[in-house]
Structure 1
Amino acid sequence: MAGLTIEQRASLSEEEIDPAIMSKKPTAGPALHKVIMVGSGGVGKSALTLQFMYDEFVEDYEPTKADSYRKKVVLDGEEVQIDILDTAGQEDYAAIRDNYFRSGEGFLCVFSITDDESFQATQEFREQILRVKNDESIPFLLVGNKCDLSDKRKVPLSECQSRAQQWSVPYVETSAKTRENVDKVFFDLMREIRSRKTEDSKATSGRAKDRCKKRRLKCTLL
């Protein structure tokens, strides 16, 4: 840009003065997917989360508050970040639960196959989430944990599958102890979140194009 006057240089953008600046600008980081763990206390939400995060099985973990975790993973060849909010299952205040649910992009609703009461509680969790999100198609997986304890099973598989079918959501059985399907539930939910974001982005783009067309039509009407 030699030979330009100060006034001419001032009228140019940074990229026009030095194209290399374009390459120095920060690029967008990996996509972030926000997952909320919900379910009754003692069903293994924290054990699943810690197994996924650190490849460790923690049998006796009793959180007194919600814990948040973040991890970079490769999802179908793309580096992404997963943000997991592990709710304690004991939140007494509806406002706190609502805030948790409002922040989530997808939900893992966990119960223990050895505890029918925890399975029945999933109905209330589902209703609370739908009320807060006001969205029947929110990314959501029903997860039956502790499948390694099949000899102590109290919730029939057919009943679990029936509820998932009723809600039109996937059902997966996991074991935080043996690590069975632990990665699967988190990655499957991230895929659902990613798909939902893509759909929303296309819908937003389509609405923007429609508005532009309408503005152009108005301009040409004389």
Structure 2
Amino acid sequence: MQTYKVVVMGSCSVGKSALTIQLVKNCFVFNYDPTVEDSYCTQLVVDGETCQLDIIDNTGNKEHQAWRHQFMHHGEGFLCVYAVDDIKSFVDVNICDQLHKMKDADHVPFVFTANKTDLTDGLVTQVLGQEVARSFKVPFVETSAKTQKGVEQAFQELVREM
């Protein structure tokens, strides 16, 4: 069975932990507890093949950037998450550019992920998210950790990219 090292990245409060816990434990966490770093292991079926994901749920806190760089260095694939109700989180997702520089590669496997799509007061449109993903030449997936929408799909797309 193939094992993939996945890093979930993005600003604070975008739902990185909620997405990861929804995938791994099939439940939604209502309480926000800022993450420094958590790791999870789960199996996922992608195109009929079972694989193992070793997932690092990375901090969005800028005070821990040294850790973020360490995770970026060791990760094989990246779920770059922003919240549709937070313009700043969308702008801050420029970590994708950092990935290309750090990995010194033309192609770094990542999925541009819009989270909290269950909210009706979204500020970042689907079209804008798709345009940015297209500019990076990566998949775009809309998710809601709360409703489970697109959660498994986002991780499956990342495995396909890897």
* TM class, shorter-length: over 0.9
Shift of 1:103: 0.8
Question: Are residues 1:96 and 2:36 paired?
Answer: no
Q: How does 1:97-116 map to 2 (within 5 A)?
A: 97-116=68-87
1:87 maps to: 58
Which residue identity is paired with 2:158?
L
Q: How does 1:52-67 map to 2 (within 5 A)?
A: 52-67=23-38
Q: Distance in 2 between matches of 1:180 and 1:64?
A: 22
Post-superposition CA distance 1:76-95 (Å, at most 9, x none) = 23222111100021152443
1:158 maps to: 127
Shift of 1:161: 1.4
Q: Is the 8 A contact 1:142 1:164 kept in 2?
A: yes
2:15 maps to: 44
Question: Are residues 1:128 and 2:103 paired?
Answer: no
Higher relative contact order (CA 8 A, sep 6+): 2
Shift of 1:187: 1.0
Q: How does 1:143-222 map to 2 (within 5 A)?
A: 143-149=113-119, 151-193=120-162
Question: Are residues 1:70 and 2:41 paired?
Answer: yes
Q: Distance in 2 between matches of 1:62 and 1:68?
A: 15
2:107 maps to: 137
Q: TM-score when scaled to structure 1?
A: 0.70
Post-superposition CA distance 1:127-165 (Å, at most 9, x none) = 22112111131111100001111x201112222111111
Shift of 1:66: 0.7
- Whose helix fraction is larger, Structure 1's or Structure 2's? 1
Structure 2: which 5+ residue stretches go unaligned? none
Q: TM-score when scaled to structure 2?
A: 0.94
**Equivalent residue pairs, number:** 162
Structure 1: which 5+ residue stretches go unaligned? 1-29, 194-222
Q: Distance in 2 between matches of 1:159 and 1:104?
A: 27
| Percentage of pairs with the same residue | 41
Structure whose alpha-carbon radius of gyration is higher:
1
Question: Are residues 1:34 and 2:34 paired?
Answer: no
Q: Is the 8 A contact 2:139 2:157 kept in 1?
A: no
Q: Is the 8 A contact 2:7 2:77 kept in 1?
A: yes
Which residue identity is paired with 2:68?
R
Which residue identity is paired with 1:54?
K
**CA spacing shift, 1:156–1:79, aligned 2, 3 Å:** closer
Q: Is the 8 A contact 1:46 1:61 kept in 2?
A: no
Post-superposition CA distance 1:86-145 (Å, at most 9, x none) = 00211524432221101111111000001101000012x112211211113111110000
- Whose strand fraction is larger, Structure 1's or Structure 2's? 2
Q: Distance in 2 between matches of 1:167 and 1:40?
A: 19
